[in-house]
A and B are shown apart, each in its own frame.
Chain A
Amino acid sequence: MSTATRSLPRTIGAHAILLTYTAIALFPVILVILNSFKSRAGIFGAPLTPPTPGTFDLIGYTTVIGQGDFIHYFQNSLVVTVASLFFVLLFGAMAAFALSEYRFRGNSMMGLYLALGIMIPIRLGTVAILQLMVASGLVNTLTALILVYTAQGLPLAVFILSEFMKQVSDDLKNAGRIDGLSEYTIFFRLVLPLVRPSMATVAVFTMIPIWNDLWFPLILAPSEETKTVTLGAQLFLGQFVTNWNAILAALSLAIMPVLILYVIFSRQLIRGITSGAVK
Chain B
Amino acid sequence: MGSLKIENVKKAFGPVEVLKGIDLEVTDGEFVVFVGPSGCGKSTLLRVIAGLEDSTAGRVVIDGADVSATPPAKRGIAMVFQTYALYPHLTVKNNMGLGLKQAGTPAAEIDRRIGIASSMLSLEPYLERRPAELSGGQRQRVAIGRAVVREPKLFLFDEPLSNLDAALRVNTRLEIAQLHRRLKATMIYVTHDQVEAMTLADKIVVLNAGRIEQIGGPMELYNSPANEFVAGFIGSPKMNFIDGGRLGEIAKTIGVRPEHLTVDPKSGRWKGTVVHAEHLGADTNLYLDCEKAGLITVRIFGVYDAEPGATLYATPDPARTYRFGADGKTMK
* A interface residues with partner B (beta carbon < 8 Å): 169, 171-172, 174-181, 189-190, 193-194
Chain B residue nearest to A173 in the complex (CB): B85
A-binding residues in B (CB < 8 A): 47, 50, 52, 71-74, 77-79, 81-89, 98-99, 102-103, 146, 158
Q: Is the CB of A175 within 8 A of B102?
A: no
**Which of chain B's residues have a CB closer than 8 A to the CB of A171?**
81-85, 158
CB distance from A70 to the nearest CB of B (A): 42
Given A172-B87, A190-B87, A177-B81 contact (CB < 8 Å): no
B103 / chain A contacts, CB cutoff of 8 Å? 180
Question: Are A178 and B102 touching (Cβ within 8 A)?
Answer: no
Which of A175, A181, A193 meets B85, CB within 8 Å?
A: A175
The chain B residue with its CB closest to the CB of A174 is B52
Q: Indicate which residue in B89, B98, B146 contacts A193 across the interface (CB closer than 8 Å).
A: B89
Bound CA span A176–B52, Å? 11
A179-B99, A179-B102, A180-B73 given as contacts; is B88 within 8 A of A174 (CB)?
Answer: no
List, in ascending order, chain B residues with CB within 8 A of A177's CB: 52, 71-73
Contact A180:B102 (CB < 8 A) given known A169-B83, A172-B85, A190-B87: yes
Question: Do A178 and B82 contact each other (CB < 8 Å), given the known contacts A172-B87, A194-B88?
Answer: no
Of all chain A residues, which has the CB nearest B14?
A: A103
A-B CB contacts (within 8 Å), total count: 55
**Cα–Cα distance between A249 and B19 once the two chains are bound (Å):** 69
| Max chain B C-beta neighbours (<10 A), residue from A178, A190, A194 | A178
Instruction: Across the A-B interface, give the 5 residue pairs with the lowest CB-CB distance, nearest first.
Output: A180-B73, A179-B99, A180-B102, A171-B85, A171-B81
Contacts of A179 in B (CB 8 A): 73, 98-99, 102, 146
Residues of B within 8 A of A193 (CB): 88-89
Contact between B81 and A174, CB atoms less than 8 A apart: yes
The reply to whether A174 and B85 contact each other, CB–CB distance below 8 Å, is yes
Nearest CB on A from B90, distance (A): 9
Give Cα distance in the complex from A94 to B77, angstroms: 29
| Identity of the chain A residue whose Cβ is nearest the Cβ of B103 in the assembled complex | A180
Cα–Cα, bound, A235→B83 (Å): 60
Asked whether A174 lies within 8 Å of B79 as measured between CB atoms, the reply is: yes
21 A-B pairs (CB sep. < 8 Å): A171-B81, A171-B83, A172-B85, A174-B50, A174-B52, A174-B72, A175-B85, A175-B87, A176-B87, A178-B50, A178-B72, A178-B73, A178-B77, A178-B78, A179-B73, A179-B102, A180-B74, A181-B98, A181-B102, A189-B87, A193-B88
Task: Report the nearest A residue to B98, measured CB to CB.
Answer: A179
In angstroms, Cα B88 to Cα A178, docked, is: 16
Q: A180-B73, A180-B103, A181-B102 are in contact. Are A175 and B81 (CB under 8 A)?
A: yes
Q: Which residues of A contact B73 (CB under 8 A)?
A: 177-180
Residues of B within 8 A of A172 (CB): 83, 85, 87
B residues near A181, Cβ cutoff 8 Å: 98, 102
A contact residues around B89 at 8 Å (CB): 189, 193
A190 vs B98: C-alpha distance in the bound complex, in angstroms?
13
**Shortest CB distance A34–B (Å):** 46
A180 to B146, CA, bound (A): 13
Q: How far is the CA of A193 from the CA of B98 in the complex (A)?
A: 18
Docked pose: A171 CA to B46 CA in angstroms: 13
Closest to B53 in A: A174
The CA of A193 and the CA of B84, in the complex, are separated in Å by 18
- In the bound complex, do residue B82 and residue A174 qualify as a contact, i.e. CB atoms below 8 Å apart? no
- In the complex, the answer to whether A175 meets B79 with C-beta atoms within 8 Å is yes
CB distance from A32 to the nearest CB of B (A): 43
CA distance A150 to B215 in the complex (A): 58
- Chain B residues whose CB sits within 8 angstroms of the CB of A169 once the complex forms: 83, 85
Give min CB distance, A279 to chain B, whole Å.
14
Query: For A180, what are the chain B residues with a Cβ–Cβ distance below 8 Å?
Result: 73-74, 99, 102-103
- What residue in chain A is nearest B97 (Cβ atoms)? A179
Nearest A residue (CB) for B78: A178
In whole Å, how far is A254's beta carbon from the nearest beta carbon of chain B? 37
User: Chain B residues with Cβ under 8 A from A178's Cβ?
Assistant: 50, 52, 72-73, 77-79, 99
B83 CB to nearest chain A CB (Å): 5
In the bound assembly, the distance between CA atoms of A179 and B89 in angstroms comes to: 15
Q: How far is the CB of A198 from chain B (nearest CB, A)?
A: 16
Cα A199 to Cα B81 with chains together (Å): 27
- Give, as a whole number of angstroms, the nearest-CB distance from B322 to chain A: 39
